[in-house]
Chain A
Amino acid sequence: MSDLTHLRSDFPILAREMNGHPLVYLDSAATSQKPRSVIDAMAEFSRTGNANVHRGAYTLSNDATDRYEEARLRVAGFIGADRREVAFNRGTTSALNQVAYGWGLYNLKPGDRILLTLMEHHANIVPWQLVARHTGAELVYAPYAANYTLDRDKFHELLDERVRIVGLTAMSNVLGTINPVRELADAAHAAGAIVVVDAAQAVPHMAVDVKDLDADFLAFSGHKMLGPTGIGVLYGKLELLEQMEPAEGGGEMISDVQLEASTWAEVPHKFEAGTPPIAQAIGLGAAIEYLEKVGMDAVRSHEVDITRYALDQLGTIDDLTIYGPTDLDVRGGAVSFTLADIHPHDLATILDQRGIAIRAGHHCARPLARSLNQPATARASFYVYNSPGDVDALVAGLHEAREIFGVA
């Protein structure tokens, strides 16, 4: 197994105890922990570099602007984009709403269709429902197949000339499934649709190149990739961003404001109304620097190893059901499961008493949960700092849960 255990000491929180046990953090799909370099970069900026950006006629503000724009450049390099194609915002949810309200609202008409997958997070469902209500467009969903990968036949069947937008997750936060974005994007483009990719789970865990994927829009969050909360990224192809309307108006995003109408600043600034999350952007830049040092191929191969180990070990527990692909080539490190008739919230409480943090619930994907016939599942998810020992702790905790609940 690949060995990244030396990284653990970079994450101060992993040294703390939880309910009398060493913290075993298995909820990185919800939010990741931060290395010291990210924490320090943000604190240092607040201590010595803080000023507003893009408006000050003084050195401190110019320097802050430089650092903010350096962060943008680093993000662009990380995903293979031009810096003008990278707009900062609050997170994936905010980025997807911007596309829905800035592109969908102006380009959809009654009878048009938005094709989503049944694996989507609420963040890639609800904005489209809201925009569909305004425009008269309708939503259709491509289901998954028995092996928990996307049902491609059904997807292609649904992809007719009525579909204007295809919304899909690059990696499911529940099933772990990695979708074949490029193949689906090619089909969508041939059908005349644009492709909006929710990459909140993909960008932190595998190398993502927006040009290779040929995504029209792609969204992700800083806090799931070792960065801070409150910062996210919307990537869009330059020509689309230039056509797209801003979903939010305010300071910083205008070229000129008259009494009745305004003109917009150049991309990407027209999508950054108000004072942006400056320290958070700098923190995200530091997180990317950290990930680049480890190398995204090493990140991915470590997670493949640990997920393989987890699937093997969980497979030894009687009455445990895993919801997701078994083929490691098409899955990431989010492992959802149920154990006998023990409710996932009870599992989470029992594990919490042993210092183990997992997620329990519908994981903000109720349509998917409903299709699984499981109102809730337990989910363990892995990142660079997790070790096989973390998996062993989880397995021991699950055996205790079986015993407490008297599962024979």
Chain B
Amino acid sequence: MSLNELYRGVILDHYRAPRHHEHLAAPDGSAEGKNPLCGDEVTVEVKVEDGAVTEIGAVGVGCSISQASASMMTEAIVGKSRPEIDDIVHKFKVMMTIEDSDEDVVDPDRPGAALGDLEALQGVRKFPVRIKCADLPWITLEQALEDLE
């Protein structure tokens, strides 16, 4: 995937029109994530009922990769149970080579089957310095979920 394809697809769409880009009225858990090197910031808030994330907000400033990753993450997470969320987080990290694994989390013949729009972020792997941008909202989500406990 070329750089242009990476940017032109869903990443720009999410960057320009981020989903769930607002604070929750009464979050059960929240966390602030910052990348001190580049200044990217994101706050993730979750509302949980019966073990599932029923509402999520991700508000931040930063580059298109970090903010699109946050936006796609909110869509992938909302309505999911904790085990489902853990599975998505794991698959994302394997896809981005943040976690070592031999698993094929993404099926090239069925794009979007495992992680939906998030699979567009695969292209970021070719730009190692930007992987941490994609990862920031996910680390922050994990912290927000820990904040519940």
Contacts and interface: CB of A to CB of B under 8 A. Distances in A.
Given A343-B64, A375-B61, A404-B7, A361 B38 contact: yes
Contacts of A404: 3-4, 7-8
B39 A361 contact: yes
Nearest to A362: B39
A361 B34 CA distance: 13
A323 to B, nearest CB: 15
Contacts of B63: 343-346
Interface string A369-408: 1000001100000000000000000000000000011100
Contacts of A346: 7, 63-65
A345 B4 contact: no
Among A360, A362, A404, A406, chain B packs the most CB atoms within 10 A around the CB of A404
Consensus secondary structure, chain A interface:
mixed
A344 B65 CA distance: 12
Interface string A349-371: 11001000000111000100100
B62 A349 contact: no
Contacts of A345: 38, 40, 62-63, 65, 130, 133
A366 B12 CA distance: 27
Contacts of A341: 16
A343 B38 CA distance: 11
Interface of B: 3-4, 7-8, 12, 16, 37-41, 61-65, 127, 129-130, 133
Can you list the 8 inter-chain pairs with the closest CB atoms, starting with the nearest? A343-B63, A345-B63, A375-B39, A376-B39, A353-B3, A346-B64, A404-B7, A361-B38
24 contacts: A342-B64, A343-B64, A345-B40, A345-B63, A345-B130, A346-B63, A346-B64, A346-B65, A349-B3, A349-B127, A349-B130, A350-B3, A350-B7, A361-B38, A362-B38, A362-B39, A366-B39, A375-B41, A375-B61, A376-B38, A404-B3, A404-B7, A405-B7, A405-B12
